[in-house]
Amino acid sequence: MTLKDFFIYLSENRFLNSAAQKYGLRLGAQSVVAGVSIAETVESIKELNKHKISCTVDNLGEFVYEKSEAIEAKNKILEVIQAIHDEKLDAHISLKPSQLGLDIDYDFCKENLRDIVSLANQYNIFVNFDMEDYGRLDKSFELLNELNKEYDNIGTVIQAYFFESEENIERYKDFRLRIVKGAYKEPEDVAYQSKSDIDKNFIKLIEYHLLNGKFTSIATHDHNVINHVKDFVKRNNIPNDKFEFQMLYGFRKDMQYDLAKEGYNFCTYLPFGKDWYGYFMRRLAERPQNLSLVTKQVFNK
Ligand code: FDA
């Protein structure tokens, strides 16, 4: 078992997930999770906004199998939307359909999403449907299509490791899209496996959407991709208001501030909530160097 597989295994352990909920942020998670409560999260957003960095706020949640858990998650997101509006924050919402009941019942999930998108729409707040693993891809796009008949304040994510991402970037070019490499472990028959294939397709998709699509969020910590995009937009006269860079809260902080200072739109993906454990383990799986976050916390008391 590789280190990556080990952390993915830990992230999927339901017992450890619920055990961690009893505690506040631990093991260094506080450097990548903005807070447990909405009040703490609002303070983190205000701090980033001061530096001209906007935020996309994600209420962390794992293993939603009961309708009551999905409704609890929806209510928390509605509270965040209200706080964004009341506090006049430069922020929008990112959500995962599975947290709102996709694995329980499609129509139930759609109603939960409609409640969220409708309140956000009233306040002119954008809602991003994050993309999860391949098994949920078609249904997530279907939800987006159905809700788009009523609301236009929604967008989604294109994951570059999927073979079908090229088709999807064209199909969804009229949406505001976040383009990412892809975070889940996917089989060979649906997704590129090698870093070079994924990176190549990532660049291709970003360039396509920058030239043909609505607003593009380039979500990556990869400086090679960021430098490529900076050069590409300059050569193609793509104005700054057509795109932004996004990174996760707590990662490459200096680069986040620098990009904002250079005048690029920058948005930090800001996870919060009591369900921080699985998210934190997946970040360790992605980049075992992040383990230094844990060791620093454990040893530098
Ligand atoms: P990758 O991890 O490939 O790193 C490339 C290189 O960049 C590294 O070799 C290193 O040189 C440098 N680097 C990376 N991280 C660094 C660090 N912390 N410090 C120093 N150097 C570093 N996925 C998904 O499937 N669905 C989704 O909805 C989303 N949403 C999302 C939002 C946002 C804002 C981000 C940033 C990411 C996602 N993702 C996602 C996750 C995404 O698919 C991907 O798994 C991770 O971003 C990791 O890939 P990177 O592009 O960051 O670079």
pLDDT band of 299, cuts 50, 70, 90: very low
Ligand 1 centroid distance, CA of 175 (Å) = 22
pTM over 0.95: no
**CA 223 to ligand 1: nearest atom:** 7
Please check the confidence at residue 133 and state whether its pLDDT lies above 50.
Answer: yes
- In the prediction, which pLDDT does 287 show? 63
Instruction: Say if ligand 1 is within 6 A of residue 219 CB.
Output: yes
Please write the tens of the pLDDT for every residue from 243-282. 999 999 999 999 999 999 999 999 999 999 987 777 777 7
The Cα angle at residue 56 between residues 283 and 149, in degrees rounded to 5: 115
Instruction: Say if ligand 1 is within 6 A of residue 12 CB.
Output: no
Share of the chain above pLDDT 70, in %: 86
Q: Identify the residue whose C-alpha is closest to ligand 1 atom 3.
A: 222
Residue 2 or 100, more confident: 100
Assigned token pair, 218: 């380039």
Instruction: Say if ligand 1 is within 6 A of residue 52 CB.
Output: no
Ligand 1 centroid distance, CA of 110 (Å) = 29
Ligand 1 centroid distance, CA of 251 (Å) = 9
In CATH terms, the fold of domain 34-275 is: TIM Barrel (3.20.20)
Report the C-alpha dihedral over residues 209, 126, 59, 261, rounded to 10 degrees.
Answer: 70
- Choosing from 33, 94, 179, 180 the residue with most ligand 1 atoms within 8 A of its CB, the one to mutate for a pocket test is 180
What would the mean pLDDT of 42-63 be, rounded to a whole number?
A: 94
DSSP state of 24: S
Residue 295 or 247, more confident: 247
Please check the confidence at residue 46 and state whether its pLDDT lies above 60.
Answer: yes
Instruction: Say if ligand 1 is within 6 A of residue 74 CB.
Output: no
Phi-psi region for residue 156, left (φ > 0), alpha (ψ -120 to 50) or beta? beta
Q: Identify the residue whose C-alpha is closest to ligand 1 atom 51.
A: 220
Please check the confidence at residue 26 and state whether its pLDDT lies above 60.
Answer: no
What would the mean pLDDT of 48-73 be, rounded to a whole number?
A: 93
Ligand 1 centroid distance, CA of 282 (Å) = 11
Respond yes or no on whether ipTM tops 0.90: yes
Please check the confidence at residue 42 and state whether its pLDDT lies above 90.
Answer: yes
What is the rounded CA–CA span in Å between residue 16 and residue 277? 8
Instruction: Say if ligand 1 is within 6 A of residue 252 CB.
Output: yes
Ligand 1 centroid distance, CA of 287 (Å) = 9
pLDDT band of 206, cuts 50, 70, 90: very high
Instruction: Say if ligand 1 is within 6 A of residue 221 CB.
Output: yes
**How do the domains of the chain map onto residue ranges?**
34-275
Where b means 16+ CB within 10 Å and e means fewer, 269-293 reads bbbbbbbbbbbbbbbbbbeeebeeb
What is the rounded CA–CA span in Å between residue 55 and residue 48? 8
Instruction: Say if ligand 1 is within 6 A of residue 54 CB.
Output: no
Instruction: Say if ligand 1 is within 6 A of residue 287 CB.
Output: yes
Please write the tens of the pLDDT for every residue from 134-166. 999 999 999 999 999 999 999 999 999 999 999
What would the mean pLDDT of 220-241 be, rounded to a whole number?
A: 97
Please write the tens of the pLDDT for every residue from 89-132. 999 999 999 999 999 999 999 999 999 999 999 999 999 999 99
Question: What secondary structure, in 3-state letters, does 193-250 show?
Answer: CCHHHHHHHHHHHHHHHHHHCCCEEEECCCHHHHHHHHHHHHHCCCCHHHEEEEEECC
Please write the tens of the pLDDT for every residue from 156-202. 999 999 999 999 999 999 999 999 999 888 999 999 999 999 999 99
What is the rounded CA–CA span in Å between residue 175 and residue 154? 8
Residue 243 or 33, more confident: 243
- In the prediction, which pLDDT does 300 show? 43
Instruction: Say if ligand 1 is within 6 A of residue 183 CB.
Output: yes
**Nearest to 29, CA basis, from 20, 41, 38, 42:** 20
- In the prediction, which pLDDT does 219 show? 98
User: Range with the lowest mean pLDDT among 108-117, 220-229, 289-298?
Assistant: 289-298
- Choosing from 54, 58, 190, 221 the residue with most ligand 1 atoms within 8 A of its CB, the one to mutate for a pocket test is 221
- In the prediction, which pLDDT does 184 show? 86
Alpha carbon distance, N-terminus to C-terminus of the chain = 31
Assigned token pair, 269: 């993906």
Catalytic site positions: 130, 178
